[in-house]
């Protein structure tokens, strides 16, 4: 099969979270299974300024209608680390900016126009590629209108939409519908309209030939009022085309035994390198060395989804003991401000680093003892998969993919982490207490690390499931039996 993926992110070229990591891994796994896979992303400023990336101007241009304007895009290409062909959609008016979706804590006012343009340009590119793709696989709200455009134009491509996070829907003012150039009848409850607004994600759910999301449990959760973010009824109406497929981990990048970003490598059978990484991380972040208790860490977006509001009231209580806390991430300014204050208050025991740093994220995963993932909801939970591989024990709320990834510790049967259910700071604190107590038993803690590092979350298995979805929609047969039950 020939598959074209459309995404707003692709690690390491453009990344804000797990979406980019998925696009960095899944195409390569599908290629191993004999498929021809390419990826289309916007030509952001960060891509242009990446001097190590060999970019080629194809001299191909496409012109699309965006409302009353005809807008031209240049097509560049390069190769991803996994060998997949990457098409770069260039329109500096839209993408030559400091951020992917916004700056200074605010979304760009013209995001609706930017990603309508991008989706239309991808379709025009697909029409020019020889031979044309069999499937166009759209990812998240930024490409949610793509299946609608393909359906309205009766294009010969099957479409798949993957929902990476239901909370981000691409909901815009109703008058922005004019920018789509769809017939007026399409601004309706059975099409792209949702309570008077243009909703990109809803459009994809309604018009894609198949819908996937990034874990089996999350596929069930988004059909409920608690996690459906208002679209639960729409999801339930289209559940016959919905499949949950747990993301995998790219172990060529996330493996402490081969990780080139670490000062010393280690494995489940040779853990000495983890202690070296721990000391190196504490030194790099200016923290006091050799704490008697564990080093806690969070590598995350600073958003309510991630449970930051549960962590903030516990910082003083946590750091009253001889432990360390590290947070790497960026997001909502009020969370960033509170973390900055806490860092000044607990100098030497707490370090907050704002932004995204690939090298530092690997060092934190390797050098920490415990990772905090107290999410309100978590579609997949790639951070938990990374942490387990690095022997960094997760404390997590049982939701979404985390429910499948982490086995709660039990003295009789073991486990790979500490799980809590109620979304409260006290429930998180109880799990922290359980972890700190076990940490004092070095033999039991090392056994847990060994179990955690033995966990495997294969992209090969996920790619096989996606392959079944593609085959199902191309053959027009009954939905393939894909996905696995929640553990």
Longest C-alpha distance within the chain, in Å?
68
Residues 103 and 154 in one domain: yes
Residues 432 and 471 in one domain: no
Contact present, 324 and 346 (Cβ < 8 Å): no
Residues 400 and 435 in one domain: yes
Give the CATH number for residue 387.
Answer: 3.40.50.2000
pLDDT of 372-391, one tens digit each? 999 999 999 999 999 999 99
CA dihedral of residues 165, 386, 433, 332 (deg, nearest 10): -40
Closest alpha carbon to 466 in 217, 139, 231 = 139
Order the strands of the 193-194 sheet from edge to edge. Answer: 171-172, 197-199, 193-194
Alpha helix segments (H runs only) across 157-300: 200-207, 216-221, 232-237, 272-284
Residues 471 and 346 in one domain: no
Query: Per DSSP, which regions of 173-220 are E strands?
Result: 193-194, 197-199, 210-213
Percent of the chain past pLDDT 70, that is, above it, reads: 98
Contact present, 138 and 161 (Cβ < 8 Å): yes
Establish how many alpha carbons lie within 13 A of residue 292's alpha carbon, considering only the half-sphere containing its beta carbon: 6
d(CA 19, CA 16): 8
Contact present, 95 and 113 (Cβ < 8 Å): no
Cis peptide before 65 (omega within 30 of 0): no
pLDDT of 442-478, one tens digit each? 999 999 999 999 999 989 999 999 999 999 999 986 4
Q: Does residue 486 have a pLDDT over 70?
A: no
Question: What per-residue confidence (pLDDT) applies to 118?
Answer: 98
Question: What per-residue confidence (pLDDT) applies to 300?
Answer: 94
pLDDT of 200-219, one tens digit each? 999 999 999 999 999 999 99
Q: Does residue 487 have a pLDDT over 80?
A: no
Indicate the number of domains in the chain.
Answer: 2
What are 105's two structure tokens?
A: 């804590």
Q: Does residue 88 have a pLDDT over 50?
A: yes
Question: What per-residue confidence (pLDDT) applies to 484?
Answer: 44
Alpha helix segments (H runs only) across 83-199: 92-95, 111-128, 146-152
Which residue has 């053959």 as its token pair? 475
Global pTM value: 0.92
Question: What per-residue confidence (pLDDT) applies to 2?
Answer: 97
pLDDT of 225-275, one tens digit each? 999 999 999 999 999 999 999 999 999 999 999 999 999 999 999 999 999
Contact present, 318 and 293 (Cβ < 8 Å): no
Q: Does residue 221 have a pLDDT over 90?
A: yes
Q: With respect to residue 141, please indicate whether it lies within any of the assigned structural domains.
A: yes
pLDDT of 139-182, one tens digit each? 999 999 999 999 999 999 999 999 999 999 999 999 999 999 99
Q: With respect to residue 253, please indicate whether it lies within any of the assigned structural domains.
A: no
Residues 433 and 463 in one domain: no
Q: With respect to residue 483, please indicate whether it lies within any of the assigned structural domains.
A: no
Q: DSSP label at 282?
A: H
Mean pLDDT of 394-423: 96
Of the ranges 290-304, 382-396, 409-423, 464-478, which one carries the lowest mean pLDDT score?
464-478
Q: Which residue has the higher pLDDT, 192 or 480?
A: 192
Residues 318 and 441 in one domain: yes
Residues 205 and 304 in one domain: no
Question: What per-residue confidence (pLDDT) applies to 479?
Answer: 55
Residues 65 and 41 in one domain: yes
Mean pLDDT of 415-427: 97
Using DSSP bridges, classify how beta strands 135-139 and 324-329 pair: parallel, antiparallel or unpaired.
unpaired
Residues 243 and 372 in one domain: no
Residues 432 and 469 in one domain: no
Contact present, 63 and 70 (Cβ < 8 Å): yes
Establish how many alpha carbons lie within 13 A of residue 165's alpha carbon, considering only the half-sphere containing its beta carbon: 20
Q: With respect to residue 265, please indicate whether it lies within any of the assigned structural domains.
A: no
Residues paired with residue 133 on neighbouring β-strands, in sequence order: none
Q: Does residue 60 have a pLDDT over 70?
A: yes
d(CA 357, CA 322): 27
d(CA 297, CA 389): 15
Q: DSSP label at 166?
A: T
135: three-class secondary structure by DSSP: strand
Question: What per-residue confidence (pLDDT) applies to 477?
Answer: 62
Residues 206 and 342 in one domain: no
Residue span of the structural domain in which 224 resides: 2-248+459-475
Mean pLDDT of 92-105: 93
Show Cβ contacts of residue 20 under 8 Å, excluding neighbours closer than 6 positions: 7, 9, 10, 11, 12, 13, 14
Residues 388 and 426 in one domain: yes
Percent of the chain past pLDDT 90, that is, above it, reads: 92
d(CA 140, CA 151): 18
Closest alpha carbon to 84 in 144, 13, 177 = 13
Q: Does residue 485 have a pLDDT over 50?
A: no
Mean pLDDT of 1-20: 94
d(CA 286, CA 360): 13
Instruction: Give the mean pLDDT of the chain.
Output: 95
Question: What per-residue confidence (pLDDT) applies to 356?
Answer: 85
**How does DSSP assign 346-360, residue by residue?**
TTTTEEEEES--HHH
Question: What per-residue confidence (pLDDT) applies to 458?
Answer: 87
Residues paired with residue 212 on neighbouring β-strands, in sequence order: 162, 243
What are 101's two structure tokens?
A: 């979706």
């Amino acid at each position: 099969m020939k598959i074209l993926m459309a995404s707003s992110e692709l690690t390491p070229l453009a990344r804000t979270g797990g979406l980019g990591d998925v696009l960095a891994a899944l195409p390569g796994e599908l290629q191993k299974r004999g498929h021809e896979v390419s990826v289309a992303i916007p030509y952001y400023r960060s891509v242009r300024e990446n001097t190590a990336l060999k970019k080629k101007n194809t001299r191909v241009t496409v012109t699309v209608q965006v409302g009353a304007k005809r807008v031209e895009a240049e097509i560049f290409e390069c190769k991803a680390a996994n060998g997949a062909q990457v098409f770069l959609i260039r329109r500096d008016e839209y993408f030559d900016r400091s951020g992917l979706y916004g700056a200074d804590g605010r979304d760009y006012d013209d995001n609706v126009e930017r990603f309508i343009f991008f989706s239309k340009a991808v379709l025009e590119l697909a029409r020019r590629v020889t031979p044309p793709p069999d499937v166009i696989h759209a990812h998240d709200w930024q490409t949610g209108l793509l299946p609608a455009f393909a359906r309205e134009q009766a294009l010969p491509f099957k479409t798949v939409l993957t929902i990476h996070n239901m909370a981000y829907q691409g909901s815009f003012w109703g008058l922005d519908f004019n920018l789509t150039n769809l017939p007026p009848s399409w601004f309706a409850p059975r099409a792209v309209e949702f309570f008077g607004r243009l909703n990109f994600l809803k459009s994809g759910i309604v018009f894609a030939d198949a819908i996937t999301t990034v874990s089996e449990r999350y596929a069930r959760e988004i059909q409920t009022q608690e996690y459906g973010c208002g679209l639960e009824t729409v999801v339930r109406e289209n559940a016959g085309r919905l499949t949950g497929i747990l993301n995998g981990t790219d172990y060529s990048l996330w493996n402490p035994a081969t990780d080139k970003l670490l000062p010393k490598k280690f494995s489940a059978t040779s853990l000495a390198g983890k202690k070296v990484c721990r000391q190196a991380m504490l030194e790099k972040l200016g923290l006091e060395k050799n704490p008697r208790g564990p080093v806690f860490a969070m590598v995350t977006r600073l958003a309510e989804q991630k449970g930051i509001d549960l962590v903030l009231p516990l910082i003083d209580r946590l750091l009253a003991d001889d432990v360390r806390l590290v947070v790497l991430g960026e997001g909502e300014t009020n969370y960033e401000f509170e973390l900055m204050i806490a860092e000044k208050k607990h100098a030497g025991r707490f370090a907050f680093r704002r932004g995204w740093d690939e090298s530092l994220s690997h060092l934190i995963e390797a050098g920490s003892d415990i990772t905090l993932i107290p999410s309100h909801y978590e579609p997949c939970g790639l951070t938990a998969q990374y942490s387990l591989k690095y022997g960094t024990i997760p404390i997590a709320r049982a939701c979404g993919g985390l429910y499948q990834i982490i086995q709660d510790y039990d003295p009789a049967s073991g486990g790979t982490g500490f799980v809590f259910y109620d979304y409260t700071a006290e429930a998180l604190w109880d799990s922290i207490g359980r972890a700190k107590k076990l940490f004092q038993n070095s033999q039991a803690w090392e056994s847990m690390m060994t179990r955690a590092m033995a966990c495997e979350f294969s992209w090969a298995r996920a790619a096989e499931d996606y392959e079944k979805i593609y085959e199902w929609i191309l053959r027009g047969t009954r939905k393939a039996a894909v996905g696995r039950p929640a553990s």
